């Protein structure tokens, strides 16, 4: 009976360790899988301000650590809460130029899949073209893992010059303060140097004058002590 209980205890602890091992394995594969997930990117600056009537590029690239297979992507425009397709296509594999279907006027696909590029061009933009654009991708090779990135287009009648007067004034004031502080520190160090030299010179003068006084007063070590003692007859 005791042997059976011991065996049960051993199996119980083994089952716990096995659960821990399985948990660690699942976490490892989950982290590795997330590192391989598809990612869509519109660049470090996800917005653009452009003049009415100009031509602009909406950038987007994709990345996947394990590669792509029949990657589906599209561009969508948020029209007052309603998502409208701008274009869409499927990329069979790396390096293949996709056949893109375009749903809006004045839109041209310029990515050509070079360097994983799926960017589009908006020609002769109007104020109605301003808003939020979404670059979406789905990769069947990653069990249809999908990702999207948002780019904002701001259309204006003209680009206004930024008044940098205040910035220049602040920069000048800060620069002047730093220069003044550096000048003060240099003057302080120079003054301390001069005072140190004067103090050393004064010490030398005191030592020299003390030696002269001792000689004149006939003290030990002076010329007065150097006279020979008269001999007794």
Number of domains in the chain: 2
pLDDT tens per residue, range 68-93: 999 999 999 999 999 999 999 999 99
Residues 98 and 169 in one domain: no
Residues 131 and 54 in one domain: yes
Percentages (nearest 5) of helix, strand, coil residues in the chain:
40, 25, 30
Residues 65 and 139 in one domain: yes
The per-residue pLDDT for 222 is 45
Is 210 part of any domain? no
Q: Which helix (H) or strand (E) holds 101?
A: strand 101-102
Host domain of residue 115? 39-156
Separation of alpha carbons 69 and 80, rounded Å: 34
117 DSSP 8-state letter: B
Coil vs helix vs strand at 53? coil
pTM confidence score: 0.57
pLDDT tens per residue, range 165-176: 666 777 777 777
Residues 100 and 186 in one domain: no
């Amino acid at each position: 009976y005791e042997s059976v209980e011991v065996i049960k205890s051993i199996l119980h602890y083994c089952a716990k360790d096995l659960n821990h091992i399985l948990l660690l394995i699942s976490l490892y594969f989950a982290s590795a899988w997330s590192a391989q997930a598809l990612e869509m990117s519109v660049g470090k600056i996800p917005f653009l301000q452009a003049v009415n009537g100009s031509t602009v590029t909406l950038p987007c690239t994709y990345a996947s650590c394990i590669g792509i297979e029949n990657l589906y992507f599209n561009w969508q425009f948020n029209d007052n809460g309603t998502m409208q397709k701008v274009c869409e296509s499927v990329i069979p594999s790396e390096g293949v130029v996709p056949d893109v279907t375009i749903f809006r006027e004045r839109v041209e696909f310029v990515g050509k899949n070079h360097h994983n590029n799926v960017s589009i061009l908006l020609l002769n933009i109007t104020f109605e073209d301003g808003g939020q654009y979404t670059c979406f991708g789905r990769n069947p090779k990653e069990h249809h893992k999908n990702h999207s990135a948002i780019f904002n287009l701001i259309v204006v009648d003209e680009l206004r010059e930024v008044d940098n007067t205040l910035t220049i004034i602040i920069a000048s004031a800060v620069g002047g303060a730093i220069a003044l502080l550096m000048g003060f520190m240099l003057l302080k160090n120079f003054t301390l140097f001069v005072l140190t030299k004067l103090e050393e010179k004064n010490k030398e003068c005191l030592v020299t004058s003390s030696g002269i006084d001792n000689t004149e007063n006939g003290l030990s070590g002076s010329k007065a002590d150097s006279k020979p003692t008269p001999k007794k007859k």
